[in-house]
Structure 1
Amino acid sequence: MSDTTTPEQLADDAVVVDVREQDEWDAGHAPGAIHIPLGELPARLDELPEADERDPLPIICRSGNRSGKAVAWLTQQGFDAANVEGGMKQWAFAGKPVVTDSGADPQVI
């Protein structure tokens, strides 16, 4: 069983890996997020940040399904990763900041 975390347990500026598609990222993402779509993850492992020694690397998507798959795969590869329960929907619901690169009003789609 892989680790999980919740948006409420993470800092507003936490480094999270966002595995959503480009249009979802463009609409709104966590300020400290690194965007690596799920399908690109195997080819972009070198872009993952170093996990904190105490805490697994948080992985997020829209609702938790894709990030759960990513966490399971990353765990098999030897990474210490945690699925962010509820994904970006829960992140926004919890009042966490959501930003866009374009300056448009952020939303979770």
Structure 2
Amino acid sequence: MTTPTALGTGEARTRLHELTVIDVRTPGEYAAGHLPGALNIPLGHIQRALPDIRDAAHRKDVLVVCASGARSENACKILAENGIATTTLSGGTGAWAADGHELHRPQGSARTVWGMERQVRLTAGALVLLGLLLGVLIHPAFQILSAGIAGGLVFSALTNTCGMATILTKLPHNRPRAHDLDRTLAELRSR
């Protein structure tokens, strides 16, 4: 399988009006700021959205976006396996914002939301600290928890995957409500 093609932020901004932009981050991350006109279909729900994305791809080119580019590459590979040509945004929304482009927020989205990378850092750090503290205060065997998390982080870096992020996407604040996803898919069909 080939690596999906990527657009730089400047080219994506210039072509935004001719693209269907799909943001595959969690609903919380999407609410914290997304590309103008982007629709939120989290990575775990791409399979459900295949027919609608396929139809949209016949009308406009599809640009898949995430925070850094890793999840959008995974989404592009899934879509390619299903015969849907897509492009990813090089560097994701992080690069978009770093290049001075505006991120939009849904109306009424006042809650503070942490990006997935920040959630992973907090969880990993807390588990390492817990393992160390329990290892000192209760029993040295608890330090295995810290070693396991460290090993997982190394594996994550080497494979560009993140099992902890996969688990964290299952938390209620990271999952789309069924009616939100249905509304997004209806909007995708109408574009």
Aligned-residue CA RMSD (Å): 2.7
Aligned to 2:66: 61
Say which one has the larger Rg.
2
Of 5, 25, 31, the residue aligned with 1:26 is 31
Unaligned runs of 5+ in 1: none
Q: Relative to total residues, which structure has the larger helix share, 1 or 2?
A: 2
Off by >4 Å, runs of 4+ in structure 1: none
Query: How far 1:13 moved relative to its partner?
Result: 7.7
Of 10, 13, 19, the residue aligned with 1:11 is 13
Is the contact between residue 29 and residue 108 of structure 1 (CA under 8 Å) also seen in structure 2? no
Alignment partners' CA distance in 1, 2:57 and 2:90? 18
Q: What TM-score do you get using the length of structure 2 for normalisation?
A: 0.50
Unaligned runs of 5+ in 2: 116-191
Q: Relative to total residues, which structure has the larger strand share, 1 or 2?
A: 1
Higher RCO (CA < 8 A, seq sep 6+)? 1
Q: What TM-score do you get using the length of structure 1 for normalisation?
A: 0.83
Query: How far 1:59 moved relative to its partner?
Result: 0.4
